[in-house]
Amino acid sequence: MSERTTSEALRKDAEQSEEKRGPDALIRDVALTKALEDAWAEDEHAVLSEAIPKNDAGVRPPGPLLPWMPAILVFFLGLGLYRAWIELVFVTPTFLFPAANVATHDMYDIIMAATLLGCAAFYKRLNPLFGKRWFYAATVGLMLMATVLLPASAFAPEFAVPLGWAAVASGGVGTAFVILLWSELYGCLNPFRVALYYSGSLMVAAAVIYLSRSMDFTAFFAVTIALPLFSLGMVAAGFRSLPSDRLPRSEAAPFAIPWKAILIMGVYAFAYGLKEADLYQSTFGPHSSFGVVIVAALIFLLVVVRGRRFQFSLIFRVALPLAVCAFLVVPSMGDWGTFVTDFCIGASYTAFSIFVMVAMANFCYRYGASAVLLFGIERGLRTLVMIAGRHTDRFLHQSFEAATGDVVLSAIVIVTVVVATMMLLSDRDLAGRWGLALPGMGSVEDAHAETARDELVDRCSQAAQRFGLSQREEEVLRLLAQHKKIGSIEQELFISNNTAKTHIRHIYRKLDVHSRDELVALLEGLD
């Protein structure tokens, strides 16, 4: 491109920049106001830009399963390993040791919830977790200690009580720590990736549990020792795969706690706690029941098949009828009715927990919220409410006849679940305000604008990689795409007028464009 052509292009840009532009000029001109869920799916390349190698042509290869499927990094599925460890060691252990009489499920959950809420209270000192080696060491050490102490009571039954207390304390604290680590990692991913990896992790957990049930004690013990090690190694690998600008920040952005989402999750957790005892009586536990596996597989496949067209609201719209069905199908229908009830309650709780994971992670991803604070509160309160559901079930069945207790439970749960879900249905998408105010998010229109700006930044990064722009040229490109004047570019980047013009000239030459309109059109055409 000649110098004269470039000068004319620069002059044309200056004339266009001087024109009076409306407040929504960025949205109108760049034309990046797609649906929020489409935008979230589109920016997945930014999350994995350093993790997925490119071929000689500079094009990122397709996923390993289907040619149109996004690449799935296996270590992001390591969340399922700690879930499998929880069920195999504490929730429904295959081998019962003397210490198990002390290390009960309720006590384990209480310690875990207290640790989560305690970490949330001191989140400013802990945030972020990914760079603290001592936190990884403490987490894996506590989980391994719990794994060893329980079978140790079989060789020293006279010490079953202290071994049980030590096991449940170390296990509860270690589980809380690993939950926060994985939550912080998922808070660095866009919602499309969170839904894909989290549902996939649930299937991984079930598969590990199924395989471990048939093992002898030696193999079983080796597996339960390996699970925490691999899970912590995978979460560390996940953080290393992320670009530096996607990692959690030391100073978390201020935000209002989404109590509405936490409240509704608590309703589903309470309903799940009421029926949890029935799941323990079946062959499979709460993390490996058919309802959990089928819903997780369904969401995983829908995300893969639908891609950018996947509607996240579909997840919680499925949870409501399943929850109602779980309390309408009474045990008097026989074994088949009990199976359907167990399936529906497991599926309902799983569907809504996936939705809440996506929603909470999106707060961290989009607004820089602290995952330690947000997930510490949500998971801690959810666990306490689930315990309350268990004890409510016991109280009602002790106070009433079995049939009467079932009727009372069904009435309570159906009313609360329906009312709570109707509250959520008033918010049409994940960018809904959840009944609260977030900084810089005054309306859905504002959320669209912010999403458009995020996507614009990602497209500029993609163009910089594809056309070999330097870091400074990429910064200039972002400002050009936002229709910044040359004077504004000088001020924002602290460069001279000649330097700014030189960078623009280089950008136009490398991208083979002759005006800002052509540049914007090129950005719009990127995948």
Q: Determine the 3-state secondary structure of 175 from DSSP.
A: helix
Q: Over 50: is that where the pLDDT of 192 sits? A: yes
In contact, 436 and 256? CB cutoff 8 Å = yes
Q: Give me 91's structure tokens.
A: 């929730």
**What pLDDT digit, counting tens, does each position of 159-187 carry?**
888 998 999 999 999 999 999 999 999 99
Bridge partners of 438, per DSSP, are: 441
Q: Give me 49's structure tokens.
A: 């830009």
H-only helix segments in 281-370: 290-306, 313-328, 335-367
Q: Over 90: is that where the pLDDT of 325 sits? A: no
Q: Determine the 3-state secondary structure of 83 from DSSP.
A: helix
Does residue 128 have a cis bond before it (omega within 30 degrees)?
A: yes
User: Does the predicted TM-score (pTM) go above 0.85?
Assistant: no
Average pLDDT, the chain: 75
Cα(176)–Cα(184) distance, integer angstroms: 12
Instruction: Give the residue-averaged pLDDT of 428-454.
Output: 44
Q: Over 70: is that where the pLDDT of 501 sits? A: yes
For 397-413, the three-class secondary structure string (H helix, E strand, C coil) is HHHCCHHHHHHHHHHHH
Residue 97, pLDDT score? 82
Cα(177)–Cα(390) distance, integer angstroms: 24
Q: Over 70: is that where the pLDDT of 128 sits? A: yes
The DSSP symbol for 441 reads: B
For 4-32, the three-class secondary structure string (H helix, E strand, C coil) is HHHHHHHHHHHHHHHCCCCCCHHHHHHCC
Q: Over 70: is that where the pLDDT of 26 sits? A: no
**What pLDDT digit, counting tens, does each position of 254-279 carry?**
667 777 778 888 888 888 887 776 66
By percentage, how much of the chain surpasses pLDDT 90?
25
In contact, 76 and 187? CB cutoff 8 Å = no
The DSSP symbol for 438 reads: B
Q: Give me 69's structure tokens.
A: 């499927």
Q: Determine the 3-state secondary structure of 469 from DSSP.
A: coil
Instruction: Give which of 15, 29, 1 is closest to 514, Cα–Cα.
Output: 1
Q: Over 70: is that where the pLDDT of 213 sits? A: yes
Q: From the CB of residue 163, how many other CB atoms can be counted at a distance below 10 Å?
A: 25
**What pLDDT digit, counting tens, does each position of 52-86 carry?**
333 333 333 333 334 444 456 788 899 999 999 99
